[in-house]
Structure 1
Amino acid sequence: MSKRISAKYKIDRRLGVNLWGRPKSPFNNREYGPGQHGQRRRKPSDFGTQLMAKQKLKGYYGNIGEKKFRKYYEEASRRKGDTGENLIGLLEHRLDAVVYRAKLVPTVFAARQFINHGHVQVNGKRVNVPSFALKLGDVVSVRDKSKNMNLVLEGTSSTERDIPDYIDVDHNKLTASLNRTPKLEDVPYPATMEPNLVIEFYSR
């Protein structure tokens, strides 16, 4: 098992959820945290509950760094409307999130690696930054030389999840685009996400 996969599975067990809804998650068989004291259960404090909500949301998108995640919160706070909904919208505009949602690759971790290695274009130009913020209507595409990679074939043939209706996808051309900014209820999270608690955590 690679370090990346091992770390991903530890996130599942540490947070106590099957974060990505994958059938191979060890949480399906062991619903307790990893390590010697993983089976001890304590009632979390308000701070603990908020921290867990933040860790779940941050971890779901490939474990975004804390500094970057706080910037998303600050940007969400500056925008008009509900801060929690704004936060979800910002996260779903990330390039790696759209590549993953469009099933161009099988996992969000694979999406980050795929983009980092230069296999993705936005409006015909190569972009290798997973956190690149897409605008509505931007066309995300897989480079011609990368279209037959096993990772792409695995992603497009996967039946583990559905493509949400706020993303337009053409698997024949291997292109995708955001047609609107989703709300929390539109995003197909396998685990319950509570952005309101994330906002409370940062606004303490």
Structure 2
Amino acid sequence: MSKRHESKHKIDRRLGVNIFGRPKSPVNKREYGPGQHGQRRKGKMSDFGTQLRAKQKLKGSYGDITEKQFKRIYTEASRMKGDTSANLIGLLESRLDAVVYRAKFVPTIFAARQFVNHGHVKVNGRRVNIGSYRLKAGDVVELKESSRQLTIVLEAAGLAERDVPDYIQVDHGKGVASFTRVPTLSEVPYPVQQEPNLVVEFYSR
């Protein structure tokens, strides 16, 4: 098993949910934490524990985001007009690596970050290799012509475990996706329930 798969599976088992919606997640067989005492870790969770778990679930859904990066995104969301939890989801889903993943150009959010970093993606005709690059409504994401026939791209397009959400229009044949609008929480196809309001409470303490 690759280190990357081990990492994803550890996140799933620690949180007790199939956070990436993958069919091979160990949580599909065992809904308890890792280790010999994993089954004992039940009991009423404190408010802090509930908020921390919500933050870990949301942060984990976007792969390799560090705590420092995630808190910076939260701080930006809190300074914007409107509901902070809605702003937080909007900022996360506007990331280039998130859009590459949602468009089914790659199979996982981890692969999306690496795919962007390796220079396979253009935004509005210009190459961008930063996964956290912020897209605006109407921006067009395009795969390099030489990257469209990569095995990882062809396999991802055929995955039946998830669909492309309505706020992204994609043509897999041409390797082009358009980010039509910033989505609301209910539009984002998270495999597990996310509670950004609890994330806001966590950072507001």
Please give the TM-score of this superposition, normalised by the length of structure 1.
0.98
* Correspondence 1:81 to 2:98: no
How many angstroms does 1:34 deviate by?
A: 1.0
How many angstroms does 1:42 deviate by?
A: 2.5
CA RMSD after TM alignment: 0.8
Residue matched to 1:14: 14
Alpha-carbon deviations, 1:15-49, whole Å to 9, x = none? Answer: 11010111111100010111222111132110000
Q: What is the rounded CA distance, in whole Å, between the counterparts of 1:74 and 1:82 in structure 2?
A: 13
Residue matched to 1:44: 45
Residue matched to 2:187: 186
Residue matched to 1:23: 23
Residue matched to 1:201: 202
How many angstroms does 1:145 deviate by?
A: 1.2
Question: Relative to structure 1, is the Cα distance of residues 122 and 173 closer, same or farther in structure 2, using a 3 angstrom cutoff?
Answer: same
Q: What is the rounded CA distance, in whole Å, between the counterparts of 2:37 and 2:204 in structure 1?
A: 31
Q: How does 1:1-204 map to 2 (within 5 A)?
A: 1-40=1-40, 41-204=42-205
Alpha-carbon deviations, 1:55-99, whole Å to 9, x = none? Answer: 000000004100110011111111111100000000000001000
* Structure 2, unaligned runs of 5 or more: none
Maintained 8 Å contact 2:136/2:181: no
Please give the TM-score of this superposition, normalised by the length of structure 2.
0.97
Alpha-carbon deviations, 1:135-159, whole Å to 9, x = none? Answer: 1111111111111111101111111
Q: What is the rounded CA distance, in whole Å, between the counterparts of 1:175 and 1:159 in structure 2?
A: 20
Q: What is the rounded CA distance, in whole Å, between the counterparts of 1:83 and 1:136 in structure 2?
A: 19
Maintained 8 Å contact 1:98/1:177: no
- The alignment-based identity, stated in percent, is 69
* Structure 1, unaligned runs of 5 or more: none
Q: What is the rounded CA distance, in whole Å, between the counterparts of 1:106 and 1:182 in structure 2?
A: 21
Q: What is the rounded CA distance, in whole Å, between the counterparts of 1:150 and 1:142 in structure 2?
A: 13
Where 2:39 maps in the other structure, the secondary structure is coil
Letter in 1 for 2:2: S
Maintained 8 Å contact 1:98/1:178: yes
Q: What is the rounded CA distance, in whole Å, between the counterparts of 2:144 and 2:35 in structure 1?
A: 42
